[in-house]
Every structure is written in C-alpha cells, then in structure tokens.
Structure 1
Amino acid sequence: MSENQLEGGATPGQDTGDEVKKDFKGLIGSVRKFLSDLLEIRSNTDAAATKESIIADIPFKGHTSWILVCSIFIASIGLNANSTAVVIGAMLISPLMGPILGMGMSLAINDIDTLRRSLKNFTVMVVLSVITAFLFFYLFPLRDESSELLARTKPDIRDVLIAFFGGLALVIARAKKGTIASVIFGVAIATALMPPLCTVGFGLAIGKPWYAAGAMYLFTINTIFIGLATFLVIKFLRFPMVRYANSHRRRLIARLASITGILVMIPAGFTFYQVFQESLFKKQAQEFLRDTIEVYQFDGAGRYVDNLTKIEYADDGTSLIEVVCMGDELIPENVINTWRTQKNQYSRLKDAELHIIQGGKDDSEEKFTYVSELYEKNKAELLNKDEQIRLLEAEVASLTMNAGKQIPFQAISAEAKANYENLAGLGFSYQIQTDFNKLDTVPVFQVKWKNGVSNNQKEADAKKMLGWLKLRLQDSTLVVKEVE
C-alpha cells in the first residue's frame, strides 16, 4: 500500500470527489432557499383581514347598486362608441368581482352562509346589469356593432387563461398584508367582467341572441375561472376552516362545499378542453390556408377575399373551412382536389369540410351579399365613416366592372345569332332600378335588329327571345330592350 493510503485511508482523488459533492449540495441548497424566499407567500398572508375584506365586498345594496348601474351605463356607452378608454374606466369602478371572490373563498373554507350570500348578490348583480344594458341599447338610437362589442361574442383559449391567472393575481394581492391596490385594478381591467354583460344586453336589444349567448359564455368563463383560482389559492394558503358547534352539521357543510367545488371544476375543465381544442383546430386551419389558397396565383381578375374566410369548429365532426374568391376566374377542380388532399394531412382537419365559393359560379345577388358581409365585418375596424364608404364603393365598382361576365354571354350570343336571322347585335348589362321602396338589380339584354326589318317582326322576335332567355337562364326578371 502507498503512504497516503496507510495514513489517511483515502486517495487524493476521493477527497476531490467528496469536495465536489459537498459544493454541489451547497449550491442546490442555496438555490432552494433563494426560490423559497422568492416565491413563498404564506408567511406574509393575513388570513383574517383577507377574509374580512372579501366578505365586506359581497353585499349589493345602496351605494354598490348605484355604482353598478353607473358602471353599466359607462361600459355600454364605451362599447357603443368603440372607445377602449371608456370601457376600461367602467371596469375599474365595477363591483362585480366581490361576490365571485366570496363564492371561491366560501367553498374553500366551508362557509355555507357566505356562499349563500355570494350567490344571491351575484345573481342580482348579473340580472340588473343585463337589464340596464338592454334598456340602454334598446332605447339609444345608435346601435353600431363596434369591434369592442364583437370582441366579446367569441371567447377563445386566451380568455380562459386571462381569467384564471387574473384570479390568481387578485386573490394573492388581497391576501398580502397591505393589499396591493394596483394589482386589483389591473385584474379588473384584464378579466373584463363588465363588457360581456353589456354585450348580452346589446344582443338581446337588437334581436341577435347568438351575440348574447357568446357574450354570456365569455362571462361564465371569467366567473368560473376567477372563482376556481380563488378556491385554489385559499386552499394553498391554508385559511382556517369555518367550524360549526354541531359536528354533524360541520361534516354536512364540508361535504356540500366539496361537492360544489367539484361541480364548479368539472365545467371549468370541460370548458378549457373545448376552447383549447377549438384553438388548435383554428391554428391548423390557418396554417392550411397559408400553404394553399393564400399562395395560389390567379392569372386573371380573380382574388382571394381573406376577410370572408369562415372557420367553424364543431366537436361532432361537422367543422367547416369556407373560403371566398371573387372575380371571373375559376380555380381548376384538380387544384381544389389537391387542397382537399393536403387538408387531410392535418390531424385536426381530416373531418372538416372545405368549401370553395368562387365568383364565377355565383349570381349577382350572392355576390352583392358577400360585399355586404365584407363591409359589415370590416367597418368595425375602420377609423371613420369616409373609410367605410370608400371600401364599399370600391367593392361595388369591382362587381359592376365584371357584371357582364356573370352569365355565359359568349354562348348566349352564339345561340341567339343562330336562332334569330334578323339579329344584328346583342349586348348585356345590369340595370339598377327603384320604386323608392326597394332597390332591384335587373339583367337587361340590348338587341339591335338588321335594317329593313318591320316593326311587327321586331316585336315578334323580341317576345320570342325574351321567353327563350328566361327559360335558358332561369331568370324571370330578364328584360329585352331594342337599341338603335
């Protein structure tokens, strides 16, 4: 044996290894202590004061009711005027958050009396908010569907995450000794409880219940996930449970609170799953469109109208991807079939239907309908009335320029020349007419007869041509006019 082994029983290499292990353990311990000091919140929590402040915000009467009515009016005016600043102001003064925190806290600490008061006041607040918003939009003469309103009709995965993490931030701020007021204000803005309720009233006032349903769905998401976040934080902070003198009653209340908490979590989890699946579907649909229709090169006047793209998700396998192309150029069928094959390569798009609506296959009325839809969808994002008018005029001018190409004019003119020997020329256009009650677009054929044809013969041929054209084109509104 060597001298080192005899004297110390260990080699220099073993000493080095032990020192490295000791240093590594010390580093891990330091990191753990740093993270504990950084993220630990229990030691600085005032459970009694937090519970007292949350319970104090639950009652809804007197001053609170008037504050709610005023905030609803302010939010409705802001949504109607498409003013983000006004909407934010309404969210800051809204008292809706109190009962939601009360419900989450009462479930966490088995306080059935607080839960009952929270539910009662929450229901009254919601009903009063919807009625107030409905009356405002029903009686107010201006009812533009602003982008601020439409943004509250279609919740997605981001709304779920905002509500949940906003609720976490709010409860943590309320639980801290010396409440952080700026966090409370920020959460009030981020979770946006007031605008969806105003949008519910707006949808009911203008007779569009699907707007109201979408907005109420968003409000429900916000409520459930703020309450869920409150429940989880209160449980994590180990707030003392409410104790009852009667042990049987205490066990019953605990079971009821636990069951209610589970029932709240079930729709929350289901909602999150549904919205998450829809988000993934729309993401793949956008990727598919970027790889296909958006890169397709039209040779003529055709173009893809991305603003009219419709992506609808349904968990029953009836999802839809619908794209609209305007102009007289048709996309070849083999290209569309290739797109359908490419669509099936996306895992979430296999069962979705792909509809390609092309201008050359649509009649005039359908095209003008699409222009109207395009106008309605874009006007919420336009800055002023002049820009809205410019967009509509540009689209109508584009349709007018191609109006003559919406029927097989070349084939019609060839058949007319073969059937009517007195015909010298044929033209076609759409004519806009009105009786000052409604506006109609009438297809008009202009015919020019050869010189020397008698008036009787012209009338007979024109009548015969009119009947033939109506039958040939399946359009009873056709008009045949003679031109010199």
Structure 2
Amino acid sequence: MEENQQEEIDLEVKTEEAKKKVTGLLASIKEFMSVLLDIKTNTDRAGAVQTIKDGISMQGHTAWILVFSILIASIGLNANSAAVVIGAMLISPLMGPILGIGLSFGTNDMETLRRSMINLGVMVGLSLLTSFLFFSIPWFQEATPEILARIRPDVRDVFIALAGGLALIIAITRPSPQTNTVAGVAIATALMPPLCAAGYGLAVYNWTYFFGAMFLFIINTIFIALATFVIVEFLNFPNVKYINYAKQKKVVQFASLIAFVILAISVWQFYGLFKENQFHRRATNFVKELKENGISIIDEDEDDYDFNSNTINLVVFGRNVSGEELQKWNEKLPEFGLNETVLNIRQSTDNTDLRAEVKSLSELYTQNQRIIISRDDAIKNKEDKIRLLENELSHFYNNQVPFKEISKEARINYDNLERISYAKRIKTDFNTIDSLTVFGVKWKDKVARKTVDKQEQKLKMWLKVRLKLDTLMVVRE
C-alpha cells in the first residue's frame, strides 16, 4: 500500500517537472518568435515619415522620369516583352503618392493627404496621356498578350498588393531603409502596366479594356495604401497636432471616416473578386466534366463564363445535344456549386461545313507531315553522301606521299642522288585491283655500281619506314 502511494507521489513529481519543462520551452519559443518578428524596436519613425513625404511630389525631374518609364512600359507591352516592362517598373516613381495617402490617414495629416491626392491625380494623368499618345500611333495598336493580361483583375492581385504594401512600409521604417525592397514591390504590384493598358484602351476606344485596367490599378493603389495605414497605426507613428483642438477633432473624425470607407471598399472589392474567381474555377470544372462525357466544345474561352449574368455559354460541334441532355446538365450545375447558373449551348443542326473544314485541315496537316518526312529523308541522304565523301577524302589524303619533304630529306641523306621521282602504279589480275608506290631514282654517273646498290637498298628501307609502307618499289632510271 505504502509502495503504491510512493509511486503515485513520484509520478506526480515527474508530471510537474515535465509541465515546467514544457512551459519553459513554450516560453522560450514565444520569446524567440517575439524577438524574431519584432518590428517596433529600432523603428525610425521620423526618417520613414520624411522619406515618404520626399517621394510624394510629381514635378520636375520626377515627372519626366515617370513619363519616360511609362513610355518604356508601353513599348514593352506592345513588343510583348516582360523584361522591358520590368525594367520600366524599376525606374518608375509611382509608389510615393500612394504611400503618402496611407501615411496621412495613419497620422491624421490632412496637408499630406491633400498633397498625395493631387500628386496621385497628376501621376495618373501623365501616365494615361503618355500611353495614350504612344498607342494612338496605328503601328502600335495590336492587343498583345501582355496588354490583355492587365485588363482583368484577379483575387490574387489583392494579396500581392497587400503583401507588397506591408513589405514596403516595413522596409522604409527600418533604421537603414532597403531600397531594393522598393524596386521589388514596384515589380510585384505592377502599378505601371495597368495604367499603360488603360491608355491603350483609350487609344483604341475600347472602354472594357480601359475600365478593367483602371480597376486593377485602383485595387493595387487602395491595398498598398491600406497596408501602409495598418503598419503606421501598428508602429504608433505620432499624429499631427493642431493648435485648434476642435479642428484636430474634426480632422481625426474625417480621417477615420475616410479610412473606414476605404477599408469597406477594399473588403467589397476583395469579396467581389473572390466570388468571380470562385465562379470561374467552378465553371471550368463543370466544362471539364462535359468534355469527359463526349461533348466537343469549340472556341472555348474565359469570356464564355459570365459572372455578372451567371451564365455559361458554350458552342459545341459533332453530335447534337438533345433537350433532355441539356436539361440534365443544367440540373447538374448545383453539384459544382453553380446554383442559379444557366447553361446556354449553341449548336448547328447542319455541321457539314464544319466537318469539311476539319477534314481539310486534317488532310493539310497530313500533307505537311509527308513533306517534312520527305525533307528529312532528303537531308539524311545528303548527310550520308557527305559522310562518305569525307571518308574517301580522308582515305585519299592518308595515302598521299609528302613528296616535297621526302625529296628534300633524300637529297640531304644521299649525296650521290641526282634526281628522284614518284608515282602510283595500279595493277590488276582481272580479279582484284592493287596499287603500288613506285620511286624512280637516278644516281650520279661517277658513283661505283657497288656503292649505288648499297645506297639504293638503304634508300628503299628508309622510304618504307618514313612512309609507313609495307611494300614499295625503287626503280633505277
């Protein structure tokens, strides 16, 4: 009995010790994370305020930098070059007034708000005018993929703008600001391309492009300003003090009202984009299901999914879809979360022309494939011939005798040699053909015959070694 009680006491002691260790570990982790993520310590509030205010103005040099950066971005969009667009964003001064708006709301600074709004308007005006003039030139009015990618906002743009704004204002509040963060945020949030795309919409009188691009720009602007406001409030930036208390109270109330309105608009925009993105994703899954069930769809595009009218419009070919089948698919829409969505299918009772066109394209493709195959065969044959000729040429050069060098060396080694000649003798027994290397030599008349025989035998041996030949003939002239 006493042993059991002692075991229980020991167990309780060990449990308490374990709890203390876990508590200590959690406290250490909490302290570590607090130090790791702390941005209030060593925050340069005065320096951050001055940096933001210095970047608000859009006049003089800054205005010209903006004009040229917009021009570069417009050229990049027209040339469909992402690298050129990124280069333009690196030098653009668009962030200043937007950060000024967020700062002014966080510090109740109406003068900074007034300056920021005026300069933001100037910035937008200059950007639209520059891009409009560029895209008004008829040669530059093609709707490239880079332009089309900037006329329809996406829910991910909200997260990019919010995260980019937070990163930017935190970087500015550091004791030593990170300038590379400003460039990175300018690229990520992509403020400039939507303005250029809006100018393109004005130049080609396409209001859908214009309002879509401006909507994307407004989303980026609002959420960057909102992120700035949140960090300014979190870091307790000092509010601007007014001599007149009543005026200060009105300014605070007005700033709070505007901040609330902007927050409400931001939430509404985010919700709208989220619902539209959700609708497109569900519609895509539904159409994928249609295809898997043998429905052939042509000219499929995201414009077929109309979020505003809650409809899916498809054009099908091949077999006709019966009314019962169409109703069946309409009834299946709620399974994909597409409640009250209407499926509209357009089909032709006579698709003979379409089939003929598809057949013609198929035959043309087959013909082109044959041409490509025959061309490849011709190229292969030519390559084989070239390879054969190269081998024969190599064999020819390998069998050649360097007669000029041989004659010089022979003259040095054999003083009694008067002249030397060289030839290839080809012989056959009518079954095989063979070639033989033949050297003709003439010795000086005054040399004794015995000496000539000895020198000639020595010359023959030297020639075999020098030319790496097993057989050769030396003929006395």
Would the TM-score normalized by the shorter structure come out above 0.5?
A: yes
1:330 aligns with 2:328: no
Q: CA deviation at 1:344?
A: 2.6
Q: CA deviation at 1:396?
A: 9.6
1:183 aligns with 2:181: yes
Cα 1:2–1:146 change in 2 (3 A) is same
2:345 maps to a residue whose letter is I
**SS in structure 1 opposite 2:25?**
helix
CA deviations on 1:1-27 (whole Å, 9 max, x unpaired) are 95998xx9x921221121111111101
Q: What does 1:47-58 correspond to in 2, within 5 Å? A: 47-58=45-56
Q: CA deviation at 1:399?
A: 8.2
1:296 aligns with 2:293: yes
2:313 maps to a residue whose letter is E
Cα 1:225–1:334 change in 2 (3 A) is same
Higher mean C-alpha deviation, range 220-229 or range 334-343: 334-343
Cα 1:239–1:361 change in 2 (3 A) is farther
Q: Work out whether residues 108 and 255 of structure 2, in 8 Å CA contact, stay in contact via their aligned partners in 1.
A: yes
Q: Residue 256 of structure 1 aligns with which residue?
A: 254
Q: Residue 122 of structure 2 aligns with which residue?
A: 124
Q: What does 1:98-109 correspond to in 2, within 5 Å? A: 98-109=96-107
Cα 1:160–1:170 change in 2 (3 A) is same
Q: Residue 225 of structure 2 aligns with which residue?
A: 227
**SS in structure 2 opposite 1:44?**
coil
Q: Work out whether residues 283 and 305 of structure 2, in 8 Å CA contact, stay in contact via their aligned partners in 1.
A: yes
Partner Cα distance (2:139, 2:298) in 1: 36
Q: CA deviation at 1:250?
A: 1.6
1:297 maps to a residue whose letter is G
Q: Residue 160 of structure 1 aligns with which residue?
A: 158
Q: Work out whether residues 309 and 323 of structure 1, in 8 Å CA contact, stay in contact via their aligned partners in 2.
A: no
CA deviations on 1:46-81 (whole Å, 9 max, x unpaired) are 101111000000011100000010011001101111
Q: Residue 43 of structure 1 aligns with which residue?
A: 41
**SS in structure 2 opposite 1:324?**
strand
Cα 1:266–1:308 change in 2 (3 A) is closer
Partner Cα distance (2:164, 2:315) in 1: 39
Q: CA deviation at 1:397?
A: 4.2
1:44 maps to a residue whose letter is N
Q: Residue 20 of structure 2 aligns with which residue?
A: 22
Q: Work out whether residues 57 and 99 of structure 1, in 8 Å CA contact, stay in contact via their aligned partners in 2.
A: yes
1:128 maps to a residue whose letter is L
**SS in structure 2 opposite 1:354?**
strand
Q: Residue 347 of structure 2 aligns with which residue?
A: 358
1:332 maps to a residue whose letter is S
| 4+ residue runs over 6 A deviation | 399-402
**SS in structure 2 opposite 1:198?**
helix
**SS in structure 2 opposite 1:178?**
coil
2:346 maps to a residue whose letter is I
Q: CA deviation at 1:296?
A: 2.5
CA deviations on 1:274-319 (whole Å, 9 max, x unpaired) are 1111111111111111222x21336xxx6544347611102xxx31
Q: Residue 311 of structure 1 aligns with which residue?
A: 305
Q: Work out whether residues 323 and 355 of structure 1, in 8 Å CA contact, stay in contact via their aligned partners in 2.
A: yes
Cα 1:52–1:363 change in 2 (3 A) is farther
Q: CA deviation at 1:177?
A: 1.4
Q: Work out whether residues 312 and 342 of structure 2, in 8 Å CA contact, stay in contact via their aligned partners in 1.
A: yes
1:339 aligns with 2:299: no
Cα 1:291–1:138 change in 2 (3 A) is same
Partner Cα distance (1:268, 1:165) in 2: 14
Cα 1:303–1:4 change in 2 (3 A) is closer
1:137 aligns with 2:135: yes
Partner Cα distance (2:76, 2:100) in 1: 29
**SS in structure 1 opposite 2:170?**
helix
Q: State TM-score, norm by structure 2.
A: 0.71
Partner Cα distance (1:26, 1:241) in 2: 40
2:45 maps to a residue whose letter is A
**SS in structure 1 opposite 2:336?**
coil
Paired residue total = 362
Cα 1:297–1:312 change in 2 (3 A) is same
Cα 1:319–1:83 change in 2 (3 A) is same
Partner Cα distance (2:304, 2:166) in 1: 35
Partner Cα distance (2:56, 2:352) in 1: 59
Match for residue 398 of structure 1 among 350, 358, 375:
358
Q: CA deviation at 1:101?
A: 0.1
Match for residue 80 of structure 1 among 62, 78, 81:
78
Cα 1:202–1:3 change in 2 (3 A) is closer
1:117 maps to a residue whose letter is R
Q: Work out whether residues 99 and 119 of structure 1, in 8 Å CA contact, stay in contact via their aligned partners in 2.
A: yes
Q: Work out whether residues 297 and 314 of structure 2, in 8 Å CA contact, stay in contact via their aligned partners in 1.
A: no
Q: Specify every segment of 5 or more residues in structure 1 that has no aligned partner in the other structure, as ranges.
A: 368-394, 403-484
**SS in structure 1 opposite 2:140?**
coil
Partner Cα distance (1:401, 1:282) in 2: 32
Determine what percentage of the aligned residue pairs are the same residue.
Answer: 42
Q: Specify every segment of 5 or more residues in structure 2 that has no aligned partner in the other structure, as ranges.
A: 363-477
- Give the alignment's Cα RMSD to 1 decimal: 2.5
Q: Work out whether residues 79 and 146 of structure 1, in 8 Å CA contact, stay in contact via their aligned partners in 2.
A: yes
1:235 maps to a residue whose letter is E
Partner Cα distance (2:177, 2:261) in 1: 31
Q: State TM-score, norm by structure 1.
A: 0.70
Q: CA deviation at 1:334?
A: 3.1
Partner Cα distance (1:252, 1:212) in 2: 37
Q: Work out whether residues 169 and 183 of structure 1, in 8 Å CA contact, stay in contact via their aligned partners in 2.
A: yes
Q: Work out whether residues 101 and 112 of structure 2, in 8 Å CA contact, stay in contact via their aligned partners in 1.
A: yes
